[in-house]
Homo-oligomer: A and B are copies of this chain.
């Protein structure tokens, strides 16, 4: 990477999906620090040992909030392989009265508004075993977790007051996780969240100007990490974070939850290999992944420019006031360099 660094100077790039500016500055990675690093901290190995007190472990199901559904294990070895349960400390409550469609938003001051905290907040327990990480499962096992997401999103999509479902995973304390046992979450909101709105606006603008869907257009070879029959894994042209990657369906598709059995196995194998690559290259970093899909009930003209994808972000450093204030990120690693490094790691 030293060579790549030396050969490049700063550049600012704007992407065609979020419309966000990012500053690429390899020189930044050489700055000194006299404060203790809060960077890559991997809590997993120590925390991976079976914990007698973990409510997500096999046999402690009664300590969890109610189960929504389970995926049974193929043999009798365990009564379940995946459980989708309610979050015991939900950000939004399924028992709150949903805002009536007309009432919707109650204005408080000019432009401000408030709605009751209605919504769904679920947890997906990815394995009954405390020490198993998602990418320790086989490709089919990872595919089944993704299928469980899709199935639950399908259920939530039926609710007339749910506008969007954010599926996400936190791994490691520095990525926000409070529980070590491998799990992910989803939150169904009664409004379209801010980043979803700005992503749709940006993709719409690109489509109106060029007639193309931004994500169908991403095919540049130098940012490709890996490819399967149905998906591409890339480092995006204007990645906000070092070693951020996106897994994108190669065929235009707006909704993640419409994925079929065939594609889900393919996605499972690609997600697994991308997580293995990150773990190998970056020493098992804390990370988040997020599925970016379309809000429910879009008109067919909007479906032309919305294209779902899965974003994986390793947490390698703490961001500061510049990013917080401006929304513009400083990334010390050029996407072309990150992609090259990730391409070269063998995870077979």
A: residues with CB less than 8 A from B are: 9-16, 18-21, 23-25, 27-28, 30-38, 41, 43, 47, 51, 53-54, 88-93, 96, 105, 108-119, 164, 166-170, 172-181, 185, 187, 189-191, 193-196, 198, 202, 205-206, 209-210, 212, 214, 217-218, 220, 237-238, 288-292, 311, 313, 317-322, 324-328, 330
Asked if A12 contacts B190 (CB within 8 A), the reply is: yes
User: Shortest CB–CB separation between residue A259 and chain B, in angstroms?
Assistant: 18
In the bound assembly, the distance between CA atoms of A92 and B326 in angstroms comes to 15
Asked if B92 contacts A23 (CB within 8 A), the reply is: yes
In the bound assembly, the distance between CA atoms of A326 and B292 in angstroms comes to 8
Of the listed residues A20, A31, A92, A178, the one surrounded by the most CB atoms of chain B closer than 10 A to its CB is A178
What B residues does A202 contact at CB under 8 A?
A: 111
Asked if B327 contacts A34 (CB within 8 A), the reply is: no
What B residues does A168 contact at CB under 8 A?
A: 320-322, 324-325
Asked if B327 contacts A198 (CB within 8 A), the reply is: yes
Question: Which of chain B's residues has its CB closest to A318's CB?
Answer: B176
Asked if A110 contacts B16 (CB within 8 A), the reply is: yes
What B residues does A24 contact at CB under 8 A?
A: 117
Asked if B194 contacts A19 (CB within 8 A), the reply is: yes
Question: Which of chain B's residues has its CB closest to A10's CB?
Answer: B117
What B residues does A164 contact at CB under 8 A?
A: 326
In the bound assembly, the distance between CA atoms of A292 and B110 in angstroms comes to 20
Q: Which of B12, B96, B166 contacts A10 (CB 8 A)?
A: B96
Asked if B112 contacts A15 (CB within 8 A), the reply is: yes
Asked if A328 contacts B193 (CB within 8 A), the reply is: yes
Number of copies: 2
Asked if A189 contacts B38 (CB within 8 A), the reply is: no
Question: Which of chain B's residues has its CB closest to A31's CB?
Answer: B89
Question: Which of chain B's residues has its CB closest to A195's CB?
Answer: B327
Q: Which of B178, B185, B193 contacts A32 (CB 8 A)?
A: B178
Asked if B173 contacts A37 (CB within 8 A), the reply is: yes
Known: A110-B214, A117-B24, A179-B35. A191 touches B14 (CB 8 A): yes
What B residues does A13 contact at CB under 8 A?
A: 108, 112-115
Asked if A9 contacts B54 (CB within 8 A), the reply is: no
In the bound assembly, the distance between CA atoms of A89 and B206 in angstroms comes to 34
User: Shortest CB–CB separation between residue A38 and chain B, in angstroms?
Assistant: 5
Known: A178-B34, A209-B110. A27 touches B89 (CB 8 A): yes
In the bound assembly, the distance between CA atoms of A252 and B207 in angstroms comes to 38
In the bound assembly, the distance between CA atoms of A238 and B28 in angstroms comes to 34
Asked if A326 contacts B14 (CB within 8 A), the reply is: no
In the bound assembly, the distance between CA atoms of A321 and B47 in angstroms comes to 20
What B residues does A212 contact at CB under 8 A?
A: 110
Asked if A36 contacts B28 (CB within 8 A), the reply is: no
What B residues does A11 contact at CB under 8 A?
A: 114-117
User: Shortest CB–CB separation between residue A126 and chain B, in angstroms?
Assistant: 14
Known: A168-B322, A185-B322, A290-B321. A36 touches B31 (CB 8 A): no
Of the A-B pairs whose beta carbons lie under 8 Å apart in the complex, a sample of 20, sorted by A's number, is A9-B93, A12-B189, A13-B114, A14-B191, A16-B110, A16-B111, A21-B193, A31-B89, A33-B178, A35-B173, A36-B43, A166-B326, A170-B321, A176-B318, A185-B321, A193-B326, A195-B325, A288-B320, A290-B324, A290-B325
Asked if B34 contacts A54 (CB within 8 A), the reply is: yes
